[in-house]
Structure 1
Amino acid sequence: MPMTTLPSPSLRRGAVALAGAVLLLGPVASARAQAPSDWPNRPVRLVVPLPPGGPSDIVLRGALEKMQPVLRQPLVLENKPGANGNLGSAEVARAAPDGHTWLWTTDTTVTVNPFVYRTMAFKVDDLVPVIRASTLSQILVCHPALGLRTLADFVQRAKAGKASYASGGSGSPGHLTTELFSSAAGIEMSHVPYKGPAPAMQDVMGGQVDCGFLAGSTVLPQVRAGKLTALAVSGAKRSALLPEVPTIAESGYPGFEASFSLVLFAPRGTPQPTVDQMQAAMADALRKPDLVEKLRANDLEVIAATQAQTAARLDADAKKWGALVKKIGLRQD
């Protein structure tokens, strides 16, 4: 079990009705000012139900370094992958709601998994959303030898029945993005799922699979090195790191948008003052200019949303992806 400890230097239910636009850089109250005097009083665990590395670790490690002086206790990151995030999430859902165990995961854990898995060891309502920290889009990349240069080229190949695509697994952001686009474009492709985006990228580079919608932080170095060709961005706007690559909406599919979020959750029943402090501590950390720039360099955008905004976004995304999952008949035991 990979574990990193940072050394110490000395739902939703009440929130949904307050939905609003996501707050990017607005002020929040000082985390210390909201802190209950007895929290935290021992190391704080942040369970990540995903493999080490990738966007989740990049954002969380950067934030924890800056949260440490505020919380004044060791912050322990524990990667516990399995069942597309369900195993680690279930552990947090069962944890004591005392503010010393938290869940850090992609939004798909609660917006997609409940529609995909027939049985889960936890309920979405067992977890309380705390902060939507950052967002990421997927980039459609292909093996250079295919000679594809535009999204139209990709669609033409798919319509000829020759296209295959790799993803980080069934129900992963790359899988969902591809299925959403396939529906919009009226195409079908052969899906090759992997255990994470890194091995998916490796097989696209190796030519075993044609293309894949994969996270920018995963594929950008290979795009710059000419080992992958980037055709389109799934989000609402272009990547600042690949400004020459258009969005899918700009490429002939108006209104198309597929982006995903990294979200912090608490076990249901965690005291609201503790949730407030944790939200404020992470929001303050994420807004530090050097961390904003570091994340931008990895094609990750800081959001630092309030608890209410986070809950509202998760509800909207659950409706969107739930409908897609039902349409394509994606189910797992």
Structure 2
Amino acid sequence: MTVLITGGAGYIGSHMVWKLLDAGEDVVVLDRLSTGFDWAVPAEAELVVGDIADQDLVEATIRRRRIDAIIHFAGSVVVPDSVSDPLGYYLNNTVRSRALIESAVRAGVPHFIFSSTAAVYGGTHGEPVAENAPTLPESPYGTSKLMTETMLRDAAAAHPLAYTALRYFNVSGADPKGRTGQSTRGATHLIKVACETATGKRPFIEVFGTDYPTADGTGVRDYIHVWDLAEAHLLALRRLRTGGTSLVANCGYGNGYSVLQVIEAVKRVVGHDFDVRISGRRPGDPVSIVANADRARAELGWRPQLDDIDTIVGHALAWEEALKRRNS
């Protein structure tokens, strides 16, 4: 059995490749390398450079490598960009995902795991949000992911396909062994940006909005270590292979940190100050969103091991130093 990982040259996808290889799985990566890097794909995994919407390529790869599961990470992920380019996000995240799902059905792939997002919920009032909460996305990014969840639900009802949609909260950190991490140029994720600022790659970091109805006026998020997230995917794969039915589950820790708290954590771990500047709110950013991940714990047997903001920051900082050495 072989697993096809779309977007496996990117941030989360490359961690998933390593997680599967560590578990003894055979892995094929499909990535068009628009934001990913070929060097991020281990030599032990086959890299196919191409688009998930190229159905001839996808279906030929499925049959050639006898793919029994697809883990789908490929897509666009920047909330403000989705507000300014909604049609681009619907094309990349929804239309192309539809083509991939159709290829899976036509080629007889029985298992599908989808990289969804907490952005499907929109904003909350600070309480941990469960999967039965209303899905009211506040950005085209969140809507594009929710539409793909809907397509999977309907395809699974009509065809012999079982899926798991994992709704991520804020993914951060890097492989504890230092093999991969977030390498995207111009990344917008808070911990990545703060670590780049702390290591001198950026002159300053902007805080977008200090007038939110939170304790310190900045937005609150649930930060999950990427390695714990990859473990949730591995457990979801094992569950599907042993007859598990389709499932939607949150992946987060249930702990909220504000933007300013995260920046202070980076300063604490790196051991020095850096320039922080205040800007206005960005469109599409919710006030606060924190996970209730009881379903993932119960259904997948997920037991996070890296639920500590300083650990997440430490691994992210180590990866920034590794990138500096790579690019020097």
TM-score (norm 1): 0.25
TM-score (norm 2): 0.26
Structure exhibiting the larger radius of gyration computed from Cα positions: 1
Higher RCO (Cα < 8 Å, 6 or more apart): 1
